[in-house]
Structures are given as C-alpha cells and as structure tokens.
C-alpha cells in the first residue's frame, strides 16, 4: 500500500508534524525578549518588596514582638514563682527547724520533769523505807531489851532447875538470881 504523500512529514509515534509550532526560540529564552523581561522583573520585585515592607513584614514584626513580650512575661512570671517557691521552701525549712528546736525543748523539759518526779518518788520511797527500817530497828531494840531482860529471869529459872536436879534442893529463882 502506498502512503499518501503530504508536504509535511508526520511523526509516527505522536502523529504531530516535526516542524509544527517551532517557528523560533522559546520566548523566555529568546535574547530579543531579555530587556522587557528584566524591566518586568524589576517592577515585580519592587512591587513585591513594597508589599512585603508595608504590609507583611510589619505584621510579622508585630507577631514576633508580641511573642517576645509574651515570652518575657512568662519568664518574669516564672522567675517570680521561682523566688516565691524558694521563699516558701526557706520558710518551711525555718518552720521545720523551729519545730525541731521546740520539740527538743519539750522533750528536754519532759525528761527533766520526769527525772524530778522520779527523784521525788525515790526520795519519798527512801524516806518510807528509812522510816520502816527505823521502826523495825526500834522493835528489834525493844525485843532485844525484852529478850535481855528476860534472859536473866530465864537464866535464874534454869539455874534453879539445874540445881534442883543436881542437888535435889529447891532453890528459888530470886536466890539463883542473886548468885548470877
């Protein structure tokens, strides 16, 4: 089969003619268009710079300044809380030290009071024991005196009984007492 013969050749893959639309260089890269492009670039840059400097940058600056102020306020508040916390800790430690001192004083006073009460009770007990000992010694002395007084009577009676047994004669206790 014979192909139709056209003046333009078609690309077999895309069906687009090879030279279709390629009359010159790509416009942004065309050296004839560089000067107007540079002018539009300068105008666009100047307009963008003006918009940024008059509208966007002041707003960003305000946001940054507000944020800086908020951070500074937060830091100041944190510093105030830190100093307040440190003061509370110092007060707590001072109160704790005072409480320990007071507890030590109370314990010392209680110990002294108990020692004094113990000493008083010991003295009272010793006085009672001494009184009982004195009373017992008095009774012992009385018993000793009674025993010694009755020893001579017993001795005279014993002597009279011995004499009566040995001699067979009755001697009175008064007579035996005379000879003792």
- Both tokens of 157, joined, read 């009676």
Q: How far apart are the first and last CA of the chain?
A: 191
pLDDT, one tens digit per residue, over 34-89 is 888 889 999 999 999 999 899 888 999 999 999 999 999 999 999 999 999 999 99
- SS3 at position 12: coil
Task: Give residue 146's pLDDT.
Answer: 83
With cut-offs at 50, 70 and 90, classify the pLDDT of residue 162. confident
pLDDT of residue 1: 46
Separation of alpha carbons 81 and 88, rounded Å: 10
**Domain residue ranges in the chain:** 35-179
Q: What is the pTM of this model?
A: 0.40
53-57, 66-70, 161-165, 174-178: least confident range: 174-178
């Amino acid at each position: 089969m014979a192909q139709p013969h056209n003046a333009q050749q078609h690309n077999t893959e895309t069906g687009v003619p090879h030279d279709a639309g390629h009359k010159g260089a790509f416009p942004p890269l065309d050296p004839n268009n560089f000067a107007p492009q540079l002018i539009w670039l300068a105008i666009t840059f100047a307009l963008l710079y003006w918009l940024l400097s008059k509208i966007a940058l002041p707003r960003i600056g305000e946001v940054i300044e507000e944020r800086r102020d908020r951070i500074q306020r937060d830091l100041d508040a944190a510093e105030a809380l830190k100093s307040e916390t440190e003061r509370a800790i110092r007060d707590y430690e001072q109160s704790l030290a005072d409480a320990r001192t007071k507890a030590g004083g109370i314990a010392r006073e209680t110990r002294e009071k108990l020692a004094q009460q113990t000493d008083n009770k010991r003295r009272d007990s010793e006085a009672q024991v001494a009184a009982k000992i004195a009373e017992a010694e008095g009774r012992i002395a009385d018993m000793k005196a009674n025993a010694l007084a009755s020893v001579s009577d017993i001795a005279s009676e014993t002597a009279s009984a011995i004499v009566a047994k040995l001699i067979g004669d009755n001697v009175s206790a008064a007579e035996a007492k005379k000879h003792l």
